[in-house]
Amino acid sequence: MKIVVGLGNCEPKYAHTHHNMGFLVVECLASKLDVKFKTRECDSLIAKTYIGGEPIVLAEPQTYMNLSGVAVKQLLAKYKCASKDLIVTYDDIDLPRYSVRVRQKGSAGTHNGMRSIIESIATEDFPRVRVGIGRPPSGVPLVDFVLAEVPSADRAKMNDTIVAASEEIYKLICLP
C-alpha cells in the first residue's frame, strides 16, 4: 500500500497559489488514475484506487499546511503503513522555479508542512517529490509569495511541472 500526500491549504482562496502545489500534483495524479476525492477521513480529503493490485490512497490534509503532520500520522496509523509507504509532494522555494526533485529521505528544509510531518511521525525516512517555485522576488515577504496566486503568465509552465511531478510519483508507486 502507498499513501500519497499532497501538501496545501484547504480554503478555496488558496487553490492556485504557490503553496498549493502539493494539492495540485495529487489532483493531477488522481485525474490520471481516474479517481475522485470523495471521502473525508483522518483530517484529509481522500481518493482511493489500485495500481497493479496495490492499494493507493491519495490525500489532501485539511489541517492547513503547518499542521500537516497531524493528518499524516492519522493516515499511517489507520492504514497500518510505515514511513516507507508514504510519498509526500509539496512546493519548495529552495528549488528553481519549474523544477521537480525526488528524494528518498531528508530534512524539512524551510518547509513548515514537512517540518510538521517529520515531527509527527518522528522520521525523515520517506520519499518526497518537491516542486520548485523559486525564491520570492526582492522585497516580497515569503508568506506573501507562497500564498500568492501563480501569475497567469506562468500557469502553463507550472502546469507542465505539476504533470512532471505526478509522473514521478507514479514511478515511485510502480517501481519495486
Kindly list the catalytic residues: 19
Q: What is the distance between the alpha carbons of residues 35 and 39, in angstroms, rounded to a whole number?
A: 11
| Strand, helix or coil for residue 116 | helix
DSSP string, 9-26: --SGGGTTBGGGHHHHHH
C-alpha 158/C-alpha 144 separation (Å) is 18
Give the three-state DSSP class for 49: strand
* Half-sphere exposure for 91 (CA within 13 Å, toward CB): 26
The dihedral of CA 87, 90, 92, 95: what is its sign?
positive
**Residue with cell string 517540518:** 115
C-alpha cell at 92: 519548495
